[in-house]
Amino acid sequence: MRLRGYRRAGGRLGIRNHFVVLSSVCCANSFVEQIGLLDRNLVPMIHQHGCTHLGNDKDQVLRTLAGVCNNPNVGGILLVGLGCETIGVDQIESAIETENKIVRHIIIQDIGRRDKVIDRAKEHIQEIKAYLSNQPLEEFDLSDLVVGLECGGSDPFSGITANPAVGLVSDRLVESGATVILAETPELIGAEDALSERIQQQDVKDKLFSRINEYVKASRYCGCDMLGANPTPGNIRSGLSSIEEKSLGCIAKGGRSFIQEFVEYADRPKSRGLVIMDTPGNDPESVTGMVAGGAQVILFTTGLGTPLGHPVTPVIKIASNNKVFSHMNDYMDINAGSVIGGEALSDIAERIFEFLLRVCNGVKTCSERNGCREFAMNRIGPTF
């Protein structure tokens, strides 16, 4: 199957042509929401950040906001700022690659009255929509894909059904020259030995294991030891015994490929193949990091069920058991629970792969059809 998408900066291909309205700071959120009501094709994105950040924390928030705008699934952007924030629209705009992409901005304090802000927004909407309507679809290869991997609301079946099936898809993508992102650093705790065998570069290994240890130390600082424990009530309820069991299931999503790189949160991978991104286990924050890093699509496994999606990138939801697929059918795209009844993992992987190709060619996921657009950023510092 040939894939078709929209060519962006650096030859990257988007599988969607979104028009994003993004607040630079939480103080502009209400205007973003109001502008979003002007046209059903707009994708409004709000958040609670954008001001009183310092140092590396400011850099990461800026990198995330600019990275989401740079995602190839985005073709048009309207930035909405207040005017006195730490991370202004000018900083975000200067970090956006504008080849085959249009960016406009509104600064509320410069314009003043609400009706004038809305009128200016309407002018920009007409201009951006006209630009997007003239963008052609082009054919591209699997090697152009960046696919993010996530698991949320895991259960004991996740590590034997959905995650290994995704692992087969991951290996197939890597063999085709694509980039696959394995994330959720805290959910690698206890799986270090299994990961070590798949990392050939010592500097990558050192950086990854150092970051895993930082999460262990951070949990102890908060009065909790993650080693031998289980951090979420849902995992305990589902029957997972420990973070180690969860981690070994988590890394199964990455298949058997060698790990080429360890990248910071919201950074774009420089290597093809399987890479690891430093994200928290928190699902919306982790998914946003991978989207900011360029992921055009996410494969998301779940044993308890979740409606989570993302404003920019389609999220393919894969159920690990028959019960959750039946109970939350309108949120689930693929059922991997049939492995329990005897279906081969390879058959499940083939269904996931074929659906992935269809999504790349425009078929909407359940999260897209349901309007699930969760957007959350990871922070590494306090708000001052």
Q: Of 67, 79, 61, which is closest to residue 23 (Cα–Cα)?
A: 79
The pLDDT of residue 187: 87
Pair type for strands 42-45 and 315-319 = unpaired
Among residues 112, 138, 164, the one where a domain terminates is 138
107 within a domain of the structure (yes/no): yes
**56 and 149 together in one domain:** no
- For residues 319 and 366, give the distance between their C-alpha atoms in angstroms, rounded to a whole number: 12
* Residue 284: Cβ within 10 Å count: 19
**364 and 277 together in one domain:** yes
**117 and 170 together in one domain:** no
pTM of the model: 0.95
Among residues 119, 138, 157, the one where a domain terminates is 138
Among residues 121, 138, 155, the one where a domain terminates is 138
The pLDDT of residue 239: 61
Q: How far is CA 57 from CA 210, 243, 286, 315, in A?
A: 19, 27, 16, 27
**151 and 77 together in one domain:** no
CA 34 to chain CA centroid, Å, is 25
171 within a domain of the structure (yes/no): yes
Q: How many CA atoms lie within 13 A of 82 on its CB side?
A: 13
**282 and 134 together in one domain:** no
**146 and 114 together in one domain:** no
Is the four-CA dihedral 274, 276, 279, 283 of positive or negative sign? positive
**145 and 131 together in one domain:** no
**122 and 177 together in one domain:** no
**102 and 186 together in one domain:** no
Helices (H), the chain: 29-36, 55-70, 89-94, 108-111, 114-133, 162-175, 192-196, 202-221, 233-238, 243-251, 283-292, 322-327, 345-360, 366-369
Beta carbons within 8 Å of 124's beta carbon, 6+ residues apart: 78, 104, 106
For residue 31, what is the domain's CATH number? 3.40.50
**111 and 157 together in one domain:** no
The pLDDT of residue 232: 66
Neighbour-count burial for 127-158, b at 16+ CB within 10 Å, e otherwise: ebeebbeebeeeebebebbbbbbbbbbbbbbb
**243 and 322 together in one domain:** yes
Domain of 106, in residue numbers: 3-138
Binned average pLDDT, 10 residues per bin, the chain of 384 residues: 90 96 98 97 97 97 98 98 97 97 98 98 98 95 96 85 96 98 91 91 95 88 72 64 70 95 98 97 97 98 95 97 95 95 95 98 97 96 90
The pLDDT of residue 190: 83
- For residues 184 and 247, give the distance between their C-alpha atoms in angstroms, rounded to a whole number: 9
In total, how many domains does the chain have? 2
- For residues 45 and 97, give the distance between their C-alpha atoms in angstroms, rounded to a whole number: 19
**158 and 67 together in one domain:** no
